[in-house]
Amino acid sequence: MNRIRNIVILTGAGISAESGIDTFRDGGGLWEKHRVEDVATPEAFARDPNLVLRFYDMRREAIQQKEPNAAHVALAELDARWPGDLLIVTQNVDDLHERAGARRVLHMHGEHLNAWCTACDARSRWTGPLIDRPECPRCGGRALRPDIVWFGEMPYRMGEIYGALRGADLFVSIGTSGAVYPAAGFVRDARELGARTLELNLERSQGSGWFHETRLGPAGEIVPAWVEELLGGAGDPPPL
């Protein structure tokens, strides 16, 4: 039996759904009659910056009222106790993995609680609004934007992600629809590189056929059960 040592976990909006943060689908893909794709692009920001800043100011304020759920807590426990390499690659821009206590987290689509200065390139922790064009704490300019990877922009830290996928024995996808690339392609890459692949989701994702196993249910139930199984086996592989 192959032993599992190195794990890559991809999370999406579904892991935060039980914390009360809408997935794309929950919101019907709409925000005040705008398609999300039309708010979350560099073109939208150039066309109507106030609209885009207001959208992100509302999201930034909302996530600070939310709490991690049992799935975030279980992954934080796995992170704390897993002896091998482990990387939680999240598409989420909330901070619920960190607030649950996870350390090995990589935000490939940016973070609501960061602002990015397009004048000096600094990233600053940011909890308040950006609509009033506050000063960048580093250069004093007024060119802050949400530190979010918009549609058409390059996700962050892809080299690190592919490095982790190359070394992974197990790839697990949690709460993602498999619709947004390049994240949607990680399962195929991981599998071709030799990893076992497991999907934990409410329903089958678009790339479901690439997973060796799919477990369906709410993340708050099926993620803690999977983590318990994995840790209970003291490093032995889960029954895929």
Give the CA-trace dihedral at 192, 195, 218, 91, to 10 degrees: -70
Does residue 114 belong to the site contacting ligand NAD (CB under 6 A)? no
Q: How far is CA 170 from CA 36, 96, 237, in A?
A: 32, 23, 9
- Helix 70-81 and helix 219-232: axis angle, to 10°? 20
- Residue 19 backbone dihedrals phi, psi, to 5 degrees: -90, 0
- Residue 88 backbone dihedrals phi, psi, to 5 degrees: -95, 105
Closest to ligand NAD by CB, 167 vs 218, is: 218
Does residue 224 belong to the site contacting ligand NAD (CB under 6 A)? no
Q: Looking up tokens 């901070």, which residue turns up?
A: 95
* Beta strand pairing call for 34-35 and 30-31: antiparallel
Stretch that binds ligand NAD, among 50-58, 73-81, 88-96, 164-172 (CB under 6 A): 88-96
Does residue 173 belong to the site contacting ligand NAD (CB under 6 A)? no
Does residue 107 have an active-site annotation?
A: no
Set 72, 107, 109, 112: catalytic member: 109
Amino acid letter at 35?
R
Closest to ligand NAD by CB, 39 vs 230, is: 39
Question: To the nearest 5 percent, what fractions of the chain are helix, strand and coil?
Answer: 35, 20, 45
Closest to ligand NAD by CB, 166 vs 204, is: 204
Does residue 175 belong to the site contacting ligand NAD (CB under 6 A)? yes
Does residue 109 belong to the site contacting ligand NAD (CB under 6 A)? yes
Query: Which of 21, 44, 144, 161 is close enough to bind ligand NAD by CB under 6 A?
Result: 21
Residues forming the site for ligand NAD (CB under 6 A): 12-14, 16-18, 21, 23-25, 91-94, 109, 175-177, 179-180, 201-203, 205, 218-219
What residues act catalytically? 109
